[in-house]
Structure 1
Amino acid sequence: MTDSSEEIPQGQVVYRRLLEEIRDARLLPGTRLREVEVAERLGHSRTPVREAIRLLESDGLVVHQPRQGATVRVLDYPEVMELYEMRAVLEGTAARLAARVANETELRQLHELNAEFAAAGDNQQAARLNRQFHAMLLEAARNRFLLRSMRVVQKTMLILGPTTLLEADRTVTAAREHQTVLDALSARDGPGAEAAMRAHMEAAQMVRLRTLRRHERPLEE
């Protein structure tokens, strides 16, 4: 643990660790969060663990199930559809705005990130570079309210489980979809950038739904 983390309340430290584990698919949807087990595994007392679980509940990432207790939430199909629809709206808008206001340095960095993403050696590296690509594009839109709304969507996206980049050839296809967005950005074509980003989100949504159907995950009541 770093010195900076020691200055953060312990409940926040545990909260951030659990968020990372949900994001990295080490805590999958449906996983029970037993206070004693989490406390022993992370090396904290039960009090900050209890606080962290309450924070995850307030985020909508954890729910209390009968006879199970705190459990990482499982989204049903309509919720997944709504989540991706919101992401398409927000990131499509970000692409349109970025086409107008992004500077040449940002565009160059986006091209470089996508090249690294396409050449990623493993799924974890690809997922990290993909997050960086989308985060940089959102920043390039220069809209604080859009960023704030997107953070809410991104947090909920954490509970969808493993990245769709685990699917065969998805990284290659996603890199091509990114490039279509980038071509529109470089041409300062706002409507084209928005349409390309929406198409990218729709493709990711279809992969996600195929994954959910294949694993036949139970729906949340």
Structure 2
Amino acid sequence: MSQVKSPNRDAYSLILEAIDVGIFKPGDRLVESDLAERFGVSRTPIREALQRLETQSLLARDGRSLIVSSLDHNQMAELYVVRTELEGLAARLAARHATSEEVRVLQDMVQEDQKLVEDPSALARANRRFHKQIHLASHNRYLVQQLDLVHRSMALMATTSIAVEGRGEDTLVEHQAIVDAIASRNEDGAYTALRNHISQAFVTRLKQDADT
């Protein structure tokens, strides 16, 4: 593996980010020596990071090896239930607390993401940034923390629902509806628009699984 220079990043964050962006996928085996070489850190912080990720159920044991966890159908359904409620709450609070600058950033994101419709991987990354911006606009640190945990678990899904034909365009339409509600300070509308957005993503993912 090629080494990644990371003087200001801890091993836990580096491995977590690699899982989040799909460098390490569900089922991949993680080896201390390989990770130490890749990230340019010693094996001790790598070992500690792996133990922490295992405790958080992001890694699982496969014999003596650690692999990136995967979610079964029930786990995925449970995760979406929690995500739907927390994301809806974040949108409601964003409609109440977001500054005009934060609303402008959200609007700019939707416009810029139109260029990514034909690139599902790039749009999936942009989608994560969009949701993170809503979380921050809620101005509730405890909610942001809980949503960070949820989104880490979302990374354990091998595919993105945005990759389904037509889903990219629909995603941006739904994002615009969310931003419109936040901009107009419509708390109920923002809550409903984001809940509907997550619900549609879940339906798409269920269809994906049914076809595999």
SS at match of 1:178: helix
**Structure 1 residue identity aligned to 2:68:** V
**2:59 maps to 1:62:** yes
Q: Which residue of 2 aligns with 1:81?
A: 77
Give the alignment of 1:42-121 within 5 angstroms.
42-65=39-62, 67=63, 69-120=65-116
SS at match of 1:27: coil
SS at match of 2:17: helix
* TM-score scaled by length of structure 1: 0.84
Counterparts of 1:142 and 1:154, CA distance in 2: 18
**2:136 maps to 1:139:** yes
Counterparts of 1:38 and 1:52, CA distance in 2: 11
| CA deviation after TM superposition for structure 1 residue 40, in Å | 4.7
Counterparts of 1:210 and 1:46, CA distance in 2: 41
Given candidates 156, 178, 183, the residue that maps to 2:180 is 183
On the 8 A contact 1:25/1:162 being kept in 2, the answer is no
SS at match of 1:160: coil
Counterparts of 1:107 and 1:136, CA distance in 2: 9
Q: Which residue of 1 aligns with 2:208?
A: 211
Q: Which moved more, 1:115-124 or 1:86-95?
A: 115-124
| CA deviation after TM superposition for structure 1 residue 20, in Å | 2.2
On the 8 A contact 2:21/2:125 being kept in 1, the answer is no
SS at match of 1:28: coil
On the 8 A contact 1:23/1:161 being kept in 2, the answer is no
Change (3 A) 1:145 1:36: closer
**Structure 2 residue identity aligned to 1:141:** S
**2:198 maps to 1:197:** no
Q: Which residue of 2 aligns with 1:173?
A: 170
Counterparts of 1:45 and 1:197, CA distance in 2: 42
Q: Which residue of 1 aligns with 2:7?
A: 6
On the 8 A contact 2:181/2:189 being kept in 1, the answer is yes
Q: Which residue of 1 aligns with 2:151?
A: 154
Identity of aligned residues (%): 36
On the 8 A contact 1:23/1:158 being kept in 2, the answer is yes
Counterparts of 1:7 and 1:209, CA distance in 2: 39
**2:32 maps to 1:31:** no
Q: Which residue of 2 aligns with 1:219?
A: none
| CA deviation after TM superposition for structure 1 residue 149, in Å | 1.3
**Structure 2 residue identity aligned to 1:171:** G
| CA deviation after TM superposition for structure 1 residue 196, in Å | 0.7
Q: Which moved more, 1:51-60 or 1:118-127?
A: 118-127
Give ranges in structure 1 of 5+ residues lacking alignment: 216-221
